[in-house]
Amino acid sequence: MFSLSEKQRVLNSPSEVRVFTAAGAERTVSASIVDTDVLFVEGFGRFAISAITDIQLRRGRLAVNESKEFTVTVPAGLAIGDSIEIVVEMNTDRYQSELATVGRLGGVRPFVFTTLPLTAIGAADIRTAIVAAYNLAIANFPNGTFPFTVVTGTAAADVRLVTKSGYESVSFRRVQIRRSNQGIGTQRFVSLALNVTIAVGFEGENLGKFLEESIRMGTPLNTAIYGIDNVSTQVDVRALYTSVSFTVAAPYTEHLSTLAADHGALTASHDFVLFLNEATCMDLNSAASKLAAIALLRVAAFSPILNATAIAAPLTITQERAETLILATGASTTTGALFIA
């Protein structure tokens, strides 16, 4: 049952999203849906499609590990027998206890390691020594936290840093090196120039593991994600979900808790959010297909406030607000077929 808050629900079964004509006949083909039909969502209830004033479908996006290559610069005065101290500075978008916050919110404790004494001092030689120093650090501290790997880059003097799985929120802010040896005093750091950004880190969007932390269910049989007999609505932490958010401009009276019902129907407008399991709900004429067809009908009614155009990623904030069908790439599209593909 619902309170007066925003309504959110996970759906793993496509049979719980259905569309009916005004006469009560079920629409089984997405292309046949019209504005006078009624949308039924198990756990939410019935909605006149004509009362939907805003709607957006957004495909889930997998997490991406950041990968960047930095070009080694030889520190001034470097001599054979010296070592190189390496400092990797990072940021993070999430709080993770094993990544100590330093200096500011989002700042991560720098990772520092040192090469063995150098036997050659060219840029490529230093690159090789840095990779070896990282591997040695792992060997020396097997229980340590290393959120990234260090390997040789594509160019002869490049070193590549890649975040590990589970640390997609981490981004590389700066890599610095300096000469290190006994008796030479404190040396200035040299910042390595970023040469290539292979991939920008991204935590993912609509991943089950994040929905599991926050989603609010809304069926009589299910008040928590670990409830009994809730296979169709529990969060699959391994799954990828498509989000469907829509606003209904009509009083809402179904599935209210006793406390909420005491206040009467929810006044227009009210927001609802569905999360559709992409493993089960993306077929033609299935749940996502029907909701995409409804979105396109509302675009026709509310253009240019709502749009369904093909725009390459990244979308601007204005475009994000207006586009109704957004793909996993971050681009927008024009048809339900392209959306579910």
Question: Domains of the chain (ranges plus CATH)?
Answer: 7-62+205-340 (no CATH), 67-199 (2.60.40)
- Please give the pLDDT value at position 187: 86
pLDDT of residue 101: 65
- HEC secondary structure over the chain: CECCCCEEEEECCHHHEEEECCCCCEECCHHHCCCCCEEEECCCEEEEHHHEEEEEEECCECCECCEEEEECCCCCCCCCCCEEEEEEEEEECCCCCCCCECCCCCEECCEEEECCCCCCCCHHHHHHHHHHHHHHHHHHCCCCCCCEEEEECCCCCEEEEEECCCCCCEEEEEEEEEEECCCCCCCCCEECEEEEEEECCECCECEHHHHHHHCCCCECCECCCCCCCCCCCCCCCCCEEEEEEEEECCCECCCECHHHHCCCCECCCEEEEEEEECCCCCCCCCHHHHHHHHHHHHHHHHCCCCECCCECCCCCHHHHHHECEECCCCCECCCHHHHHC
Per-residue model confidence (pLDDT) at position 271: 85
The whole-number pLDDT of residue 178 equals 95
Q: List per-block mean pLDDT (blocks of 10 residues) for the chain, which spans 341 residues.
A: 59 93 96 96 90 95 96 93 95 76 72 95 96 95 90 96 93 94 81 96 89 58 44 79 92 54 56 92 96 97 94 94 95 97 94
Per-residue pLDDT at 258:
42
Position 238 scores a pLDDT of: 86
User: What pLDDT is recorded for position 164?
Assistant: 94
